[in-house]
Amino acid sequence: MIRSPLLVPLADFERIFRTIHGVLVAKGFQSPEKCCQFFSIVGATILDKHYGLKAVPCFGVAAFNVGLQKHIAFASVNGCPSVNGFHAWVESEGWIVDFSSPLLSELAEKAGIGSCGRKMFQKPAVESAPSIEELDSELSFYVAPYQDFSAKRIDAFFESKLYVDVLYYCVNWYKRPPQKMNEPVLVGQNIKGEPECAFLSPFRVNGAW
């Protein structure tokens, strides 16, 4: 069990993020900032296997106030989640943990609303705003998990051999800090039969929202 004012200490959060991001890059994913399902499912599995925490990957609607011109929101046009409009995060012991949050800056820049740096998002679930419309500096996030949608997305994830390979390599490569990670690590072969080797992501996490 983790002993910290936070569920996941910053050093561990960063290590989990860098592990998943590093494997995604090695496996050829071109837009890791759009891969929240990996950060959710793989992150939850790492918390379970390496920390003994009961962690659940959640899919649904989410929005974040990170001090930009507009909120960063994830939903379809009708305000509900869809395959083209959703977010994924981890819920564990009353905490919301978003291991993809260091990549929010890429999404913000592409949306033309500024840059917010690479930070950790991890807050008690009870601090979620009641609705997106009620986001402010005090209520800085909103999450609404959809159980049926989550189940379908998780099922779809495990139907993909590539996705399961990413999960396998991340969970088996990961080591809790301050243990040193072995780099590079072989994470398969590409279509040409060439080895794919992963390094920890060069992106570092600077503080928290």
- What is the reported pLDDT for 114? 84
Of 74-78, 94-98, 104-108, 195-199, give the lowest mean pLDDT range.
74-78
Element (H, E) at 196: strand 195-198
In the numeric block, which tokens belong to residue 192?
A: 């040409």
- What is the reported pLDDT for 1? 40
Q: What is the pLDDT of residues 174-205, one digit of tens each?
A: 999 999 999 999 999 988 999 999 999 999 99
Percent of the chain whose predicted confidence (pLDDT) is above 90: 80
Higher pLDDT, 68 or 152: 152
* Strand segments (E) across 15-145: 55-64, 72-74, 87-92, 95-98, 121-124, 141-145
Among 145, 201, 208, smallest CA distance to 32 is for: 201
pLDDT band for 122, please (50, 70, 90 cuts).
very high
- What is the reported pLDDT for 124? 96
pLDDT band for 4, please (50, 70, 90 cuts).
low
**Distance in angstroms (rounded) separating the CA atoms of residues 37 and 138:** 27
Could you identify the residue written with the tokens 């994470």? Answer: 187
Q: Are 24 and 34 in contact (CB under 8 A)?
A: no
20-47 mean pLDDT = 97
Q: Between the CA of residue 40 and those of 58, 136, 183, what are the distances in Å?
A: 7, 25, 23
Q: Between the CA of residue 179 and those of 15, 44, 176, 197, what are the distances in Å?
A: 10, 20, 6, 20
Higher pLDDT, 116 or 167: 167
Q: Are 47 and 123 in contact (CB under 8 A)?
A: no
Backbone torsion region of residue 117, taken as left when φ is above 0, otherwise alpha when ψ lies between -120 and 50, otherwise beta: left
Average pLDDT along the chain: 94
Kindly tell me if the per-residue pLDDT of 3 is higher than 90. no
Higher pLDDT, 17 or 192: 17
DSSP-based three-state secondary structure for 110: helix
81-91 mean pLDDT = 96
44-70 mean pLDDT = 95
Percent of the chain whose predicted confidence (pLDDT) is above 70: 98
- What is the reported pLDDT for 17? 98
What the chain holds in terms of domains, given with CATH numbers, is 10-198 (3.10.550.10)
Beta bridge partners of 197: 186
pTM of the model: 0.94
87-110 mean pLDDT = 96
